[in-house]
Amino acid sequence: MMTADKKDILFIIYPLFILTNICYNIILNKFATRSDSLNNTTGISFRIIPETRFKTSVITLTLVCPLSSDTAAANSLLPHLLSRACSKYPDITALKRKLASLYGAVLSGDVISIGDAQLLRFTVRSIDDRYTMDGEKISVECAQLLSDILTSPPLADGLFRSDFIESEKRLQCEKIDAQINDKVSYSTRRCIELMCEGEPFGVNPLGDKEAVGALNAENMTELWTRVLRTYPVHLTAVGSMDGDAVKRAFTEAFSSVDRASCKLPSHIFIEKADKAREFTDYEDVTQSKLVLGFRTPFNCTNDPYIMRLVSACFGGTAHSRLFVNVREKMSLCYYCSSSYFSSKGILLVRSGLESENIEKAKTEIMAQLADIQNGGLTDEEIANAKMSLRNSFLESLDSPRATELWYTSQMFDSTVLSVEEACAKIDSYTKEDVTNAARAISLDTVYLLTKRGEQ
């Protein structure tokens, strides 16, 4: 049994151990990051992050495309189509055998959107080079495999296999249906579509089922050829690998591609709403969804971190105004939270509620924002918000994948910050900074999803 003295010692040592570990992670993150900027001639850039804390490594290839209704469906399908096979391993079985030989490496393709851009991503997760049995540099093989997946698919008569395409089309249509069935996601998507009508950000990154249905071997092959030539490519690697060897493997594989001049897509920023617009959709829902869209002048080109702090104070944490007051004290919503899209300078408030509370909730949400704009936040509220943001930033050091995503999410930022630098940035803001930033927020769109006759 542990004695009282031992418990006292443990009480002192354990927090110090946690603090030391966090500081180690931050220091490592700050000094281990190396990046080459985008080459506008080749459109290729690299970010190698030496990392020795994990037993696994991650290498991700990202193609950066403008988000457009004309290409969204095809772009979303392409990473999944290409991840099925390559000319060296022309079917799923052969590719799985190769991955198994790389100590059970995992290959995946996915698509995310950041602002007005669509990111096509190809990722290999593998055991770190330090843990291979004979010192093999499997990170280099993983980089070569990713390059083959992207540049050398198994074509039949110069075209993608129709059976692969039809299978991926079915899966993508299921994802579109899932978006509609998830009313939290659907209401958020609808608010963005209405708020950003005419902007690329308003386009569903998955496209629509009609566009998916029109995809075939000919137009997918044409898209792949165009993507390979004209879209910027970014490689991010996290692990204890030989970064220069990984870069060489990718560069050599890509040397045969006739690349056109490339640059990152631009974004449309609207700093202030002219007036608020209201939209209502009626469906047979058991719980109404209210989404408020706000414009701000803070985005990835200037100072997104101040608005992250404002959002955390407003509705981004369990200590925020919306959670404490609208949800807990007044019981107006089942959930009520805010989120900030730095790539567009857009702040969203999302809530689920009964129809009889819609107007009350909307009024109280705006009242809480007005109080923040009038300097009503306490020092404790701001301190709690800062602590929550720091903790969320530090979670980006928990895995190679999370670290990779931390930097990918800053692809369009004018200044790329390490986790330590982001924490310091948040800590530097004063109450006056938060108040002034909040005053620049303007309501653009009010979207309601509810049952007909219950509003």
Report, as an integer, the average pLDDT of 52-73.
Answer: 96
State residue 432 phi and psi, 5-degree precision: -65, -40
Rounded (10°) CA dihedral 232, 400, 206, 202: -70
The model's pLDDT over 187-234, given as tens digits with 9 standing for 90+, comes to 999 999 999 999 999 999 999 999 999 999 999 999 999 999 999 999
State residue 453 phi and psi, 5-degree precision: 90, -5
CA–CA separation, 240 and 139 (whole Å): 9
Paired residues of 277 in beta bridges: 445
What's the burial of 137, exposed, middle or buried (CB within 10 Å: 0-12/13-18/19+)? middle
pLDDT of res. 41: 52
CATH of domain 277-450: 3.30.830.10
pLDDT of res. 14: 36
Q: What angle do CA 168, 170, 173 make, to 5 degrees?
A: 110
Closest C-alpha among 393, 229, 411 to residue 316: 393
Q: Is the pLDDT of residue 19 over 90?
A: no
pTM here is: 0.88
Confidence of residue 2 (pLDDT cuts 50, 70, 90): very low
> Where in the sequence of the chain do the CATH 3.30.830.10 domains occur?
33-254, 277-450
Confidence of residue 18 (pLDDT cuts 50, 70, 90): very low
Q: Is the pLDDT of residue 20 over 50?
A: no
CATH of domain 33-254: 3.30.830.10
pLDDT of res. 415: 93
